[in-house]
Structure 1
């Protein structure tokens, strides 16, 4: 672990600041939208716009890096993010915010691709698993920290928009000044979605449903809190609890993943997540139960992302893993775009009202559990000793980290075979 920190501390510090900035703007817009009188449906389009940009960025950023290099791409995109964050309170219009979110989503995706390729290049085969773990912890810790920073200013003013802009501006200084050499950049050609679905139906369906769950969970969480009248402090705690649950439960579930049939574990984790969402739907009026709900949803849904990747890898040849990563991210992105819009519609006064936020996640998590149960009847499971290793991956990761996780799984499987 210390070896990873010594070689990549600047990158991890920069990513920590980036995640603080991203975590602040996501929650802050949900609160500010309520202050400005935006409807829930309007805010759902604002939140979905980020994922439109993110999906586009994950597809185009590799070409940009190959043309002009890591340094220029990183600096240019981070500058755009910083500028848009300052402009949000200046143009308080849903269409302007949608455009800003598309730009920010695109830029963050490109920044992540750039930083993650640096991280992967700095790790060796022996330290790749530790690097992935540290990267995920930094991402989660950054978003949790962001929720606390929301309490230092008034959401109706400008200060809370300036803080993430400044953090983004200084985030790339340690990275650009301390990391060398610039790595070469290569990504595999994505596998066709038809081929990927044939190989792992559960992996594809699960990633699509999880895209909707994550986008609703993190994109609309602050909107829900504002709708039900939570204070800014309560909204901050509520949103942070999703990530705290993810940090606490990622590794125990990862340990189980390497010791049991992953389809059964996916079923159980999805079911527990649905129970957590049901608690929020029925008992969300009590703030304590709201936090219990957020902890369970975040703690179950985040490991599901890594579980589905590990399950898909079990059915892939080593040479196909890198190609499959792009397809998995694309499928997840499609679900993420639809998630906030459907959630916003369900939260409308003529449908479910604010409880529609949790109803949407109940339906999707229950659907994932049901489909996992169905898939157990369609083909025999892979023996536990023949499965690849579980690697923790955050839902905000790009194909670069997925490829690194798949390399790690392949290496671990090879070492086990050699040991036998």
Structure 2
């Protein structure tokens, strides 16, 4: 890991600064929007608009890179982000903010595609897993750091909009001054959704639901915290708890996923996350309880993004794994777009508790659908007594672009090919001599 930080420090530092700005302005939208008198549903549409732009940018950015190169795309989108962030207090209209959020989602997605293609092209087969892990962890730490800045500022003024603009501008300096242009980033043509669903219904439906969960946590947590009357410092700690929980739970969930039936692990984590979220409906008066429940629901839910990718791969042929990534990201993006408005309607109908109820219901749906699928098809573990799952790769937050997911898929493909090769060698030994026979 030290070697990875030494070779990619500029990119990792740049993405850390970028995520400070992204995390700060994302939470600031909910707080400042409430100050400006925006309704809960309007704020939910603003949150959804980000994911509309993000999904579009992830598909268009590779074409821009192919046309003008990494450096120009990176610099242009960075300028757009910096300008957009300081535009919010100038035009305090919910529909203008929706348009700005679409633009910033598009630009950030393009930046992720560019940065991740740089990282992927500069990594070797031996370092790719560590590089992606370091990259994703720096993103999560940046999101948490952004909440700390929010707690120290005044959301009714200009400064908290200027700071993320500065962070975004500074984030591109180390990258552009040290990174060399790389080959064009090309995303794989996605497998058709029908074919992907036929291969793994639970993987597809699970990714759809998890898109809604992540978007709801990311876009509406600040709105919820404002409505229940948390102070700015309490609000920032509450939002940070979702990401801190994801960091803490990442390793144990990843460790378990390589040792037990992944479908059972997804169902268990979803069910526990649903129970934690349901507790939020009844324990909103206790600030400490809110922090614990946020860490539990975020920690159990966010690693499921990567776990569902790994689970889907268990049912794919090696040659289908790269093509599946595009379909999974698209389905997740649709869920992310739909999640905040549905949550906003619930909060408008029943009050702040609708935030937790939405998370509980959606996570509960993942668990229930998983149990239904268990009654329809045996696990690959049961189908083949000597089956070994391809190892779970790394945490993949919902901010990952197709390039990062495809890079993770490369890790799965390499591991699957190595396992297949080892199996062939064992089979060859078994048939060549009595001594090589399995016990």
Normalised by the size of structure 1, how large is the TM-score? 0.98
Decide which structure has the larger Cα Rg and report it. 2
Alignment of 1:72-87 (within 5 A): 72-87=72-87
Query: Which position in structure 1 is the counterpart of 2:402?
Result: 399
Query: Which position in structure 1 is the counterpart of 2:377?
Result: 379
Q: Which moved more, 1:296-305 or 1:180-189?
A: 180-189
Query: Which position in structure 2 is the counterpart of 1:268?
Result: 268
Is 1:92 equivalent to 2:95 in the alignment? no
Equivalent residues of 2:228, 2:284 under 8 A apart = no
3-state SS of 2:393 partner: coil
Alignment of 1:147-158 (within 5 A): 147-158=147-158
Whole-angstrom distance in 2 between the partners of 1:78 and 1:317? 38
Whole-angstrom distance in 2 between the partners of 1:317 and 1:8? 33
Q: Please list the CA deviations of residues 200-236 of structure 1 after superposition, one character each: whole Å capped at 9, or x if unmatched.
A: 1011100100011111111000000011111000100
Q: Please list the CA deviations of residues 145-198 of structure 1 after superposition, one character each: whole Å capped at 9, or x if unmatched.
A: 000011232100000000000110111111111112423322211111111111
Equivalent residues of 2:30, 2:222 under 8 A apart = yes
3-state SS of 2:302 partner: helix
Q: Please list the CA deviations of residues 348-375 of structure 1 after superposition, one character each: whole Å capped at 9, or x if unmatched.
A: 1xx2111000000110000000011111
Equivalent residues of 1:129, 1:391 under 8 A apart = yes
| Alpha-carbon offset, residue 8 of structure 1 | 1.0
Unaligned runs of 5+ in 2: 424-439
Query: Which position in structure 1 is the counterpart of 2:342?
Result: 342
| Alpha-carbon offset, residue 95 of structure 1 | 0.8
Whole-angstrom distance in 2 between the partners of 1:391 and 1:282? 36
Query: Which position in structure 2 is the counterpart of 1:109?
Result: 109
Query: Which position in structure 2 is the counterpart of 1:316?
Result: 316
Alignment of 1:116-135 (within 5 A): 116-135=116-135
Equivalent residues of 1:132, 1:391 under 8 A apart = no
The Cα RMSD (Å) is 1.1
| Structure 1 residues 419 and 3: alpha-carbon distance in aligned structure 2, compared to 1, 3 A threshold | farther
Query: Which position in structure 2 is the counterpart of 1:359?
Result: 357
Unaligned runs of 5+ in 1: none
How many residue pairs end up in the alignment? 418
| Alpha-carbon offset, residue 385 of structure 1 | 4.0
Whole-angstrom distance in 1 between the partners of 2:11 and 2:317? 31
Whole-angstrom distance in 2 between the partners of 1:232 and 1:343? 22
Whole-angstrom distance in 1 between the partners of 2:242 and 2:220? 12
3-state SS of 1:386 partner: coil
Alignment of 1:1-400 (within 5 A): 1-348=1-348, 351-383=349-381, 385-392=387-394, 393-400=396-403
Equivalent residues of 1:389, 1:408 under 8 A apart = no
Whole-angstrom distance in 2 between the partners of 1:186 and 1:333? 19
3-state SS of 1:220 partner: helix
Equivalent residues of 2:325, 2:402 under 8 A apart = yes
